[in-house]
Structure 1
């Protein structure tokens, strides 16, 4: 029997921009489910009711039309928790949050993979005296993301690169000048090809969310 794993996004599902590649690396023993915290809301309802006000905490995810949008964290988190409850009731073996920037404590009756925790704890555990570089996806959240790393004991040197950006030479130059000993790709939208590019051209270890998620799922479910 296949083991059900639910992938929950902060915005609308399905997230084929993430899941098409992620699923190609998952065992056929896994039945993939997708759910979005905002699936019950139309694009117009999201924009009318979830747009953040000034000084309000913000979360970013994708809508069903492919648009990336900032949401009010205060209003979205209860919807995310409702989505987790629905997947618990569906009898899944595990839940995966499709975002590396959800740092809140999420309660679940089944194991739940929160990539924020995986990346931060793994990096803190292996870094020793290494200089740690990080790539963040959005400039507007970069300082808060850096503060999150510092809070967890890792002082990263960062640059911001959109996941779809192909002109990556200046990022290589930046991390070489910073003499980074390892690199964290701090966004689940960074692809395996992106990981391979930095491994090949920087010659240093790279922590990549999709790779970590897949290996954790397989290890925990005793697959392969």
Structure 2
């Protein structure tokens, strides 16, 4: 049996995500959780990961329960160092707990599982010619993350609603807007969306694909 490492772009452990993994993984499987922002204060996060003007954004959760918007490029650079740390700690498989697109992450020996590389072809095969509606946490991500959905037979519809709470639309409102716009299946495109968010989205009367649940089931087959 190997050892599973998980890397969140926020702070570990992610008490909202790990139960989904625990539900499908062998309890005896050793695990090590790490976060890109581990040990950093809010000021340090602001100084080191502040979004660049016009740059791609990510949103994540901190240990105190608050959320923070960070720059994707800066996050990717810091994540690479964390991957090396997890490998040095003996992890044989490392799962990124983020569905955002990262162009250059790599490991030396461990199997690196990036949801961004798994979700688009898998979801495309599941939905086939149905109209997919995608819920993302930030409206700004609709443009920056759109390229990864090229495998879909039809261009998806989008709506934004944060899993971490905000002044914007609720998840139910976003799901209902997508249903009214013609969506036939919904995808929640963030690892921070959990089962209770799926239930909120299901109020729109459509099937809902939960990214972290799908990824957890797939990962359980290879660890």
**Under TM normalisation by the shorter chain, which class is it?**
0.7 to 0.9
Aligned counterparts of 1:197 and 1:169: Cα–Cα separation in 2: 5
Question: Is 1:188 aligned to 2:191, yes or no?
Answer: yes
Aligned to 1:107: 106
Deviant stretches of 4+, over 6 Å: none
- In the alignment, structure 2 segments of 5+ residues that lack a partner are none
Residues matched between the structures, number: 219
Note closer, same or farther for the CA distance 1:127–1:10 as it changes in structure 2 (3 Å cut): same
Q: Return the match for 1:176 from 176, 179, 182.
A: 179
State the shift of 1:200 in Å: 7.3
CA–CA distance in structure 2, aligned partners of residues 26 and 6 of structure 1: 13
TM superposition shift of 1:98: 0.8
Shift of residue 6, structure 1, vs aligned partner: 0.8
Shift of 1:203: 4.3
Counterpart CA distance in 2 for 1:168 and 1:42 is: 29
Give the drift of 1:158: 1.4
- TM-score normalised by length of structure 1: 0.83
After TM superposition, give the deviation of residue 86 of structure 1 in Å: 1.1
Say whether the 8 Å CA contact 2:161–2:170 is kept in structure 1.
Answer: no
User: How far apart, CA to CA, are the structure 1 residues paired with 2:147 and 2:173?
Assistant: 24
- Summarize the Cα distance change of 1:21–1:93 in structure 2 as closer, same or farther, 3 Å threshold: same
Q: CA deviation at 1:208?
A: 1.6
Residues 31-56 of structure 1, C-alpha deviation per residue, up to 9 Å, x if partnerless?
Answer: 22111123253332222232133233
SS at match of 2:80: helix
Greater helix content: 1
Partners in 1 of 2:29 and 2:204 — Cα distance? Answer: 33
User: Relative to 1, partners in 2 of residues 1:56 and 1:23: Cα closer, same or farther, differing over 3 Å?
Assistant: same
Q: Distance in 1 between matches of 2:178 and 2:53?
A: 34
Which ranges of structure 1 fall in alignment gaps of 5 or more residues? none
The answer to whether the 8 A contact 1:9-1:37 is kept is yes
For 1:126, the equivalent position in structure 2 comes to: 126
**TM-superposed deviation, 1:81:** 0.5
Measure, in 1, the Cα distance between the counterparts of 2:48 and 2:174. Answer: 37
Task: Give 1:158's aligned residue.
Answer: 158
| TM-score, reference length from structure 2 | 0.83
Q: CA deviation at 1:5?
A: 0.8
Alpha-carbon separation, structure 2, partners of 1:181 and 1:107: 36
SS at match of 1:16: coil
Kept in 1, the 8 Å contact 2:99–2:190? The answer is yes
C-alpha root-mean-square deviation of aligned residues, in Å? Answer: 2.7
- Higher mean displacement: 150-159 or 79-88: 150-159
1:124 alignment partner, SS class: helix
Q: For residues 99-118 of structure 1, give each alpha carbon's deviation from its aligned partner in whole angstroms, at most 9, with x where no partner exists.
A: 11133242122111111111
How far the C-alpha of 1:29 sits from its partner, in A, is 2.8
Deviations 1:152-172 (A, max 9, x none): 765111111222569554345
**Is structure 2 residue 221 aligned with structure 1 residue 219?**
yes
